[in-house]
Amino acid sequence: MKTTFPARIKSVAMAIAAVGLLTGCATSGNPKDPIEGFNRAMFAFNEGLDSAIIKPVAKGYDHVLPSPIKTGVTNFFSNIEDLFIGVNNLLQGKVPEAFSDLGRVVINSTVGLLGVIDFASDAGLEKHEEDFGQTFGRWGVGNGAYVVIPVFGSRTVRDTVGLVLDVATDPVANHNPERTRDIALALRLVNDRANLLPADKVIEEAALDKYSYMRDAYLQRRRNLIHDGNPPREVEANAESADPAASAEAQAGEPRAEATPASVLVASTEPAVAN
């Protein structure tokens, strides 16, 4: 049986990630990143791929196409995403948000000319961001180890499992005929990367160690997304055991975590196929 292009990418990425998780490669002192040696190697690979191919193409795309066309492309793919964003909101028990997402699809697919024009946002229907990894997190599944997957970028073990479902249900990645599908995947990747070009300078100026900066931003961003921007404060186990009353007081008075500037660019390490 013939293997499709997205399936080959997914299989290779998952296989390499599994090898890294099983072998452990080089361990680190960070309990959230026990295979840091493997992850840094994959991070360097992805950075090289981006620098050599993806970023230059994205720059050319950004330079040549006028803003209205780029906005239309972004809206078109965003409209496709809204369908399974709605499914994930429903699986998480967020029924009003799910109906809002499906309402966005209906409005933008009709009067919005297949999503090219985002009339739903103008009508007050908020754009959400949900995926199967977030759904598992809402169900109580823990992160697992942090892992960097070739091409797809930053993940946790939980989000890697979610990625498999994201790809399997992605209408773009599973579209036929194959030629149209591959063009759509390439266009989405380049358009997404072009949208992130302004954030590159922020990361380069802020990060002494880009790998650690992106890892911490990814983990914090995912935590914020799972808790809809209001995550509970993480309390150090040793502090809690030493003085439970003080820990409880600190937890009650501590402000919620906010997204770091790096979270703006973290999406560039999200899946190129299942976005």
- CB–CB of 194/69 below 8 Å? no
- CB–CB of 135/254 below 8 Å? no
233: in domain: yes
Tokens of 81: 């995403």
List the one residue out of 139, 131, 103, 138 whose CA is nearest residue 118: 103
Instruction: Phi first, then psi: give them for residue 126, nearest 5 degrees.
Output: -70, 140
Please, which pLDDT band fits residue 18 given cuts at 50, 70 and 90? low
Angle at 266 between CA 263 and CA 270, to 5 degrees: 140
118: in domain: no
How far apart are alpha carbons 68 and 62 in whole angstroms? 11
Helix locations, 92-156, DSSP H: 95-110, 119-122, 132-138
Percent of the residues in the chain that have a pLDDT greater than 90, as a whole number: 68
Please, which pLDDT band fits residue 98 given cuts at 50, 70 and 90? very high
274: in domain: no
Domain housing 192: 5-65+139-269
**Low-confidence winner among 113-117, 177-181, 191-195, 252-256 (lowest mean pLDDT):** 252-256
Please, which pLDDT band fits residue 208 given cuts at 50, 70 and 90? confident
241: in domain: yes
* Overall pTM > 0.95: no
112: in domain: no
Q: Tokens 């078109």 correspond to what residue?
A: 76
Question: What length does the chain have?
Answer: 275
108: in domain: no
Helix locations, 233-274, DSSP H: 237-242, 244-253, 263-266
55 pLDDT above the threshold of 50:
yes
The helix (H) or strand (E) run that includes residue 148 is strand 146-149
pLDDT for the residue 253: 41
Q: Cβ of 51: how many Cβ atoms within 10 Å? A: 10
**Low-confidence winner among 63-77, 83-97, 150-164, 254-268 (lowest mean pLDDT):** 254-268
pLDDT higher at 261 or 201: 201
SS3 content of the chain, % helix, strand, coil (to 5): 65, 5, 30
pLDDT for the residue 160: 97
Please report how the helices 157-169 and 67-91 are oriented relative to each other, as an axis angle in degrees rounded to 10.
110
How far apart are alpha carbons 136 and 159 in whole angstroms? 8
Tokens of 230: 């209001």
158: in domain: yes
The helix (H) or strand (E) run that includes residue 73 is helix 67-91
30: in domain: yes
How far apart are alpha carbons 273 and 182 in whole angstroms? 10
Distances (CA, A) of 95 to 90, 98, 118, 247: 5, 5, 22, 35
The number of folded domains in the chain is: 1
66 pLDDT above the threshold of 90:
yes
Mean pLDDT of 115-140: 97
120 pLDDT above the threshold of 60:
yes
Tokens of 176: 């036929």
**pLDDT per position as a tens digit, 166-179:** 999 999 999 999 99
List the one residue out of 189, 212, 191, 214 whose CA is nearest residue 202: 214
pLDDT for the residue 201: 85
